[in-house]
Amino acid sequence: MPTPGPGEMTFFYTNQQSARLMFYHDHAWGITRLNVYAGEVASYIITDDMEKKLLPAAVGNPAGLGILPGAAETIPLFIQDKTYVPNAAQLALQDQTWDTARWGGEGSFWLPHVYSPAQNPGDSSGVNQYGRWAYGPWFWPPTSIEHGPIANSYFDPNCNPDETWCEPPLMPGVPYLSMGMESFHDTPVVNGTVYPTIELDPKAYRFRVLNAANDRFFNLSLYKAVDANGALCNIATNPTPAAESTGVACTEVALNPTEVAAALEDTTIFPTPVAGTEGPNWIQIGTEGGFLPAPVVIPPQPTTWVNDPTVFNAGNVDQHSLLLAPAERADVVVDFSQFAGQTLILYNDAPAAFPARDPRYDYYTGNADLTDTGGAPSTLPGYGPNTRTVMQIKVKPGTGTPYNLTALETAFKAESLGGIGVFRNGQNPIIVGQGAYNSAYGATFQNNGPNAGLVQIFDTSFSFKTCGRSCRAFTHLPAAAEDDPGRDGRGLRS
């Protein structure tokens, strides 16, 4: 390798990790968020002998068992959310401060660059209905900062706040930013393509999924698509599906019409897909940490929230499907054999800002017109903005080839249970034993009780069993959880 020149450095990576999907992105000082948003992110895949054993036999891999789909049936899905600069007329209505000469015109990436505070001292409610972020000096308790509010150049003393919304006399004394935190965009992008379509055979595929968004979570499920008449897109029963006004058919997921109608008046209502339109399950085999102790079958599941006020996590997300936070990865297998000739939609309904939900960030067909609070108008079928319909999947007709889930589940088990020990032989030994590891180690860790490997909020000591090369127990290790609202206003640290 040549000696690096001026301004260059050479980095060496040992890759001493188990098989997994990693990713790399630019880390330029101060503008990492911008470069990742612009798309400078790519996969970095590590494989090992255990993964090779699960793959089909091939040249260089004669001992492959063919339990996982091969390279031709493995598809990366790098998902982000974007907003695009509209035409000049629309831009003049939505963002008069956007500098097209410096930042790009129609079709360029748009970013929030002005802090719009959620507070408005000029209104008796104290609330700015267009606001997105809390401004410290106008929040409680007020935050003392060096550069406080300044005169608002948009303030009109002749504006009557009892008749219309008016700019307040003061505005936050913050500069225009290269990107405001947090930012939730209106258009999903997969592998650099907006609302892509993929055609697959009726068999199993492996997907390596990365949430490459800056801030948005994704709760991913697969649902059957419907045409413009609401009929399921199935070649056997609907050979000529009706297209939307865009000229493209089968781009929508059928949402509960009663919920959609109610959400027009009450945006706290969260429309969900019509029951019975669920597509295939996810079979998750790994994360950014490599293979799981055992495969997990994850069915389609709309987001729900914890509504019990007596529990500590009240208001957090409860049920979900394949849920990914930014930078999280999922290694999954999907069996399409029972969906030959059908069109599916990769569907997302994770709230933003997670786990709370601002309806202005939840873009879906038929949503309420929220332009009076700085949101978007109602989305028409087949059009954006829409953060729920991520990708269209067309499964070819024909006889499906079912996936052998039993063989996969058996392979992950310990040798003592008839498997090949995918986790035990491919991952570093665990430290804290928990019931989820039982099949991987042939162990009998408890799921409940004092040896479940869990620290509860009131514990001052911790006892657990471990099972690396041998099983043993540790008792009375110091443990504590501290409620520390001073750090971020919520949450625990240990």
In this structure, is the dihedral angle defined by the CA atoms of residues 422, 425, 428 and 429, taken in order, positive or negative? Answer: positive
pLDDT recorded at residue 484: 45
* Distance of alpha carbon 51 from alpha carbon 49, whole angstroms: 6
Amino acid at 275: A
Cis status of the peptide bond prior to 353, with omega within 30 of 0: yes
pLDDT in tens, 408-421: 999 999 999 999 99
pLDDT recorded at residue 474: 60
pLDDT recorded at residue 487: 38
Cβ neighbours for 458, distance < 8 A, ≥ 6 positions apart: none
pLDDT recorded at residue 98: 92
Q: What are the distances in angstroms from CA 430 to CA 228, 410, 416?
A: 52, 20, 18
Q: What are the distances in angstroms from CA 332 to CA 41, 204, 213, 220, 422?
A: 20, 10, 19, 12, 15
pLDDT recorded at residue 271: 96
Residue ranges of alpha helices (H) inside 293-385 are none
pLDDT recorded at residue 493: 34
Q: Which of 269, 264, 237 lies closest to 250 in space, CA to CA?
A: 237
pLDDT in tens, 322-338: 999 999 999 999 999 99
pLDDT recorded at residue 179: 67
Burial of 162 (0-12, 13-18, 19+ CB in 10 A): exposed
Taking a C-beta distance cutoff of 8 angstroms, is the pair 363, 385 a contact?
A: yes
Structure tokens at 261: 């109608």
Q: Which long-range contacts (CB under 8 A, 24 or more apart) does 26-33 make?
A: 31/178, 33/179, 33/181, 33/214
Burial of 151 (0-12, 13-18, 19+ CB in 10 A): exposed
In Å, how far from its chain's centre is CA 372? Answer: 28
* Distance of alpha carbon 219 from alpha carbon 215, whole angstroms: 13
Which DSSP category does 447 fall into?
A: S
pLDDT recorded at residue 134: 86
pLDDT recorded at residue 472: 59
pLDDT recorded at residue 486: 39
Q: What are the distances in angstroms from CA 167 to CA 115, 121, 123?
A: 14, 10, 9
* Distance of alpha carbon 29 from alpha carbon 38, whole angstroms: 15
Residue showing tokens 């295939």: 280
pTM more than 0.95: no
Taking a C-beta distance cutoff of 8 angstroms, is the pair 171, 292 a contact?
A: no
Which DSSP category does 298 fall into?
A: E
Below-50 pLDDT ranges, the chain: 469, 481, 483-494
